């Protein structure tokens, strides 16, 4: 099954009278069970691609189907629904809500879906425990190490069983030990059937995935 089917994506930013083509005819397919990285240097268009694949931004041209749904004809409400139901996001800066505990952060996507607190709490506790944070449920992000915060973010991303895990530089703010932990978690999640796409400039991350593509100056390449 094709989870991501994007063809001929173009993104042009308008800077005053200047046009900047940041994605140039990018086509990408991601299949159920894939463990893929998109590797590229700073400025190559990684964040732009991540935002489009994550349904946070729309391309200037091209086609994009996510899990069979035509993303580019969806309304804002439908896009929000797609993001919440189909995608688990993981970011470089973790993006946890600072005033909420680890448990509350992980419950949030479930509460947005209308799940009741009891059930959401059970599921969130289960995922945090699985990721070794069973003793940290009541801690706020600033009471946790970077590696622990990223594990909370991973728990939040997987708690709703999304079709796709989309990670943007997930090791960018981690020391090497925590980076290895995070990559081991991604590997295990993939072995359990999760489809994962990691966008990164880190070759050590890229070394560990099953499928690697390169982005340079807004173009995607299969080989370096
Ligand atoms: P990366 O994530 O690989 O660093 P980006 O997608 O963030 O690449 O950016 C690619 C290029 O597009 C950069 O030159 C950046 O300055 C430019 N860019 C990104 N977002 C915008 C925007 N909203 N408006 C104008 N230029 C942008
Ligand atoms: P990253 O560290 O992930 O590459 P950046 O720092 O390049 O991210 O960009 C952060 C945000 O700012 C992104 O959402 C990107 O689209 C936006 N952005 C980047 N460059 C520009 C720009 N020249 N003009 C406007 N927005 C930009």
**ipTM for the predicted complex:** 0.68
Task: For residue range 134-177, list pLDDT tens digits in order.
Answer: 999 999 999 999 999 999 999 999 999 999 999 999 999 999 99
**pLDDT over threshold 90, residue 133:** yes
90: CA distance to ligand 2 center in Å? Answer: 17
* Helix 146-158, helix 102-112: angle, nearest 10: 20
pTM of this structure:
0.90
pLDDT of residue 57: 94
H or E element, residue 38: strand 35-39
8-29 pLDDT, tens digit each: 999 999 989 999 999 999 999 9
**Average pLDDT across the chain, whole number:** 96
Is residue 217 over pLDDT 90? yes
Using DSSP, state whether 36 is helix, strand or coil: strand
- Looking at residue 213, what is its pLDDT? 97
Q: State the pLDDT at residue 214.
A: 97
* Minimum-distance ligand 1 atom for the alpha carbon of 201: 3
Nearest-atom index, ligand 1, CA of 49: 6
φ/ψ of residue 172, rounded to 5: -60, -25
- Residue 224's pLDDT is what? 72
pLDDT (0 to 100) of residue 10: 98
Buried b (16+ CB within 10 A) or exposed e, 200-213: bbbeebbebbeebb
Q: Is 40 in the pocket of ligand 1 (CB under 6 A)?
A: yes
**Smallest Cα–Cα separation from 102: which of 61, 147, 70?**
147
Q: How far apart are CA 134 and CA 124, in angstroms?
A: 10
Strand spans (E) along 67-210 = 69-70, 87-90, 164-168, 196-200
Surface-to-core class of residue 71, CB atoms within 10 Å of its CB (0-12 exposed, 13-18 middle, 19+ buried): buried
Which residues does 31 contact at the CB level (< 8 Å), separation at least 6?
A: 1, 2, 3, 195
68 lines ligand 1 (CB under 6 A): no
pLDDT in tens, 50-62: 999 999 999 999 9
Average of pLDDT values for 177-183? Answer: 95
Nearest 5°: the CA angle 126, 131, 134 is 60
Contact in structure between 129 and 155 (CB atoms under 8 Å): no
């Amino acid at each position: 099954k094709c989870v991501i089917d994007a063809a001929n994506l173009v993104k042009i930013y308008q800077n005053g009278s200047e046009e900047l083509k940041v994605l140039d005819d990018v086509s990408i397919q991601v299949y159920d069970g894939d463990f893929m990285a998109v590797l590229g240097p700073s400025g190559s268009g990684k964040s732009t691609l991540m935002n489009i694949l994550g349904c946070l931004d729309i391309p200037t041209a091209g086609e994009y189907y996510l899990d069979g749904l035509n993303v580019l004809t969806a309304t804002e409400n439908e896009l929000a629904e797609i993001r919440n139901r189909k995608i688990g996001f993981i970011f470089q800066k973790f993006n946890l809500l600072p005033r909420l505990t680890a448990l509350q952060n992980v419950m949030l996507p479930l509460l947005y879906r209308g799940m009741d607190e009891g059930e959401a709490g059970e599921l969130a506790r289960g995922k945090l425990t699985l990721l070794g944070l069973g003793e940290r449920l009541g801690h706020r992000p600033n009471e946790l190490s970077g590696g622990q915060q990223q594990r909370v973010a991973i728990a939040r991303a997987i708690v709703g069983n999304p079709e796709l895990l989309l990670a943007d530089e997930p090791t960018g703010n981690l020391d090497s030990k925590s980076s290895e932990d995070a990559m081991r978690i991604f590997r295990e999640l993939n072995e359990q059937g999760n489809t994962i796409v990691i966008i990164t400039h880190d070759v050590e991350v890229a070394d560990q995935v099953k499928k690697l593509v390169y982005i340079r100056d807004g173009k995607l390449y299969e080989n370096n």
